[in-house]
Structure 1
Amino acid sequence: MTSTDTVAVLGLGAMGLPIATRLAGAFAVRGHDIAADRLCLAEQAGIAPHPTARGAAAGAGVVLLAVRDAAQLEEALFGPDGVAGVLDPGAVVLLTSTVGREAVPPVVQRLRERGVGLVDAPLSGGPARAGAGDLLVVVGAEPAALATARPVLERLASTLTVVGDAPGDGQALKTVNQLLCGVHIAAAAEALALADALGLDPARTLAALEAGAAGSFMLGNRGPRMLEAYDDDGAEVLSRLDIFVKDLGIVGDAARTAGLATPVAAAAEQLFLLGRTQGLGAADDSAVIRVVAPGRRGGTETPGA
């Protein structure tokens, strides 16, 4: 029997685990991940770990997917351990990942044949904000499916924007969001690299920029991690660089389909592609500064020192 109080979270990575932990404060949460260490961390956070996705999803009213791309979405639902076959009619799949608008309609149709809804709800904000319920979530969903998933979404989001009644509408707005995010990260990398090349202290420069009109969320969030990008271990990986290879690829595909030129986004995409080619794909996306400036001229001082 399906229970709307039971949520399955499939994918306990950098975003999935804090999401599941946040939900565990209000719902009975089951978690699945292919990595055993992530299941151990989930259990410590009060999440019921399951060795299979199907075991986690059976009987759940909402199945939240935190996957990387469209291929993983297809695998999670319809692959050998795909959960679509164990979902009860009336259950809802809550897609939180950025997979692109074109990937959604075929999935919606296959789920609809089983009486299962899909809520297209890509989110933005990073792991810390996920754990605090402070995410931006943009939603495209039919009203009935949205009503089932809304308590889960409201637990996760500080800003919940319903952009349309069709799954895929959320992906469309997230594509626009990722265009800006990718460009802003690339621009922050160029600015801090230029400051260093001009002999300015990067940390002092970052503090000054954040206080003025040039400040942005991405500068404030990624900037400090860019200052760690040249350390032996680099910055802590909170968002992999190759995620923006995927996301800006989605932006480019969407723009071409719409017949729109996006030259700034295309230039940013090239920086992330170069980073992946240089072996930085699994590094934090702030490491894109090492593509702009492979070496660093100056040192870093603490602002106010």
Structure 2
Amino acid sequence: MTSEALDLSRLRPVLPSPLEPVEDERFARHGVRLVLKRDDLIHPDLPGNKWRKLAPNLRAAGGRAVLTFGGAYSNHLRATAAAGRLLGFRTIGIVRGEELAHRPLNPSLAACAADGMTLRFVDRSTYRAKGDPTVLKGLLSAYGECCVVPEGGSNALAAQGCTELGRELRGVADVVAVACGTGGTLAGLAAGLAPPQRALGVPVLRGGFLGEAVRELQTAAFGAPAGDWSLDERFHFGGYARTTPELHAFADDFERRHGLPVERLYVAKLLYALTELAGEGAFQPGTTVAAVVTGRPQEASEDSR
């Protein structure tokens, strides 16, 4: 299959994704306006930043097999597997956690398998070393020629793809906030915004390293750090897949108020953080904050790390 044959436009993505103003007194009483950027509506199987990050990588792969990485509840693995099914290329998922090979597949991994993805479970030390050329060569040896896409889909191509998200939000909001896993979406989003707009990232992983990852991605994609962006690392709830009763209560309340189901791992953490920040006076009265809705609700899971 050639890159010309791999025509992603036939999947009919909804672009630009819709904007949805939300009237919420938790923001309004501080003079802050909240707008949702509904990237979750881009495509039913490749929603949000998964579309924006995968699309340029899949075009570069040109129909070759794609090998990529993720944890047991990885939305990136699910989207890659779905893309393989829809567009007719082979997918291989390297999954963190050798012990998972002997357990029934959870709903996320079962969906990957149903979409034809070959799953290979590796121990955590091997997974951590996946960027080492020798380790990667060993992983690739069983599958022939593959295009390797990193965990979360985050690389220079992905960051370049996410600049379009920023461009779609020019003139819409003063602050654009996004939940961050690997940092690829924030890297591209910030580069696509226009001054004086700024991007705010809320990590869902434990903090302390993501800023450097964003700077490295931007340098690889654009030659230098780009745009006005910052991170607030206080609201990650202890790790990627960790949730709490407090977070679930917040998500349920948001759904009751606004009729919008909220994905717990990314979107609920983002919206919760923005509510807290508004209460702290982090946004000046008159500020419009756009929250990027990157995914749809899925079953809650325990931390799979």
After TM superposition, the score normalised by the length of structure 1 is 0.35
* Larger CA Rg, structure 1 vs 2: 1
After TM superposition, the score normalised by the length of structure 2 is 0.35
The structure with the largest helix share of the pair is 1
